[in-house]
Amino acid sequence: MIKEIQFTPRGEDQCQPAYRGRNGSADNKGIEVMTTSINAVMLSPINSRGVTDACFIEIPFEHLSDVIDAMREAQRSHPSGVVLR
């Protein structure tokens, strides 16, 4: 399974999605979410040219719920008040 999530363009006064690789920081237009043959989910940034870049985060299935819970908690505790769909 491969799914691309494209981020909505942000205003100048808002956070601009980015990532840092070995060559420095780059604009992040979205992420690619993919399952691997070793029972993991791999997240890769999509750069400003719309291409998946060479870095990735691999999360084993058995820890995926923990990562999702931590991300939801980080969002809930942020003062912006934005709520997950």
Residue range 33-48, pLDDT digits in tens: 999 999 999 999 999 8
Distance of CA 76 to the CA centre of its chain: 17
Once rounded to an integer, what is the mean pLDDT over residues 15-39?
89
Judge whether residue 31 has pLDDT over 80.
yes
pTM over 0.85: no
Instruction: Give percent of the chain above pLDDT 70.
Output: 93
Q: Is the sign of the CA dihedral 63, 67, 73, 77 positive or negative? A: positive
Residues 39, 33: Cα–Cα separation, whole Å: 13
> What is the token pair recorded at 40?
């993991």
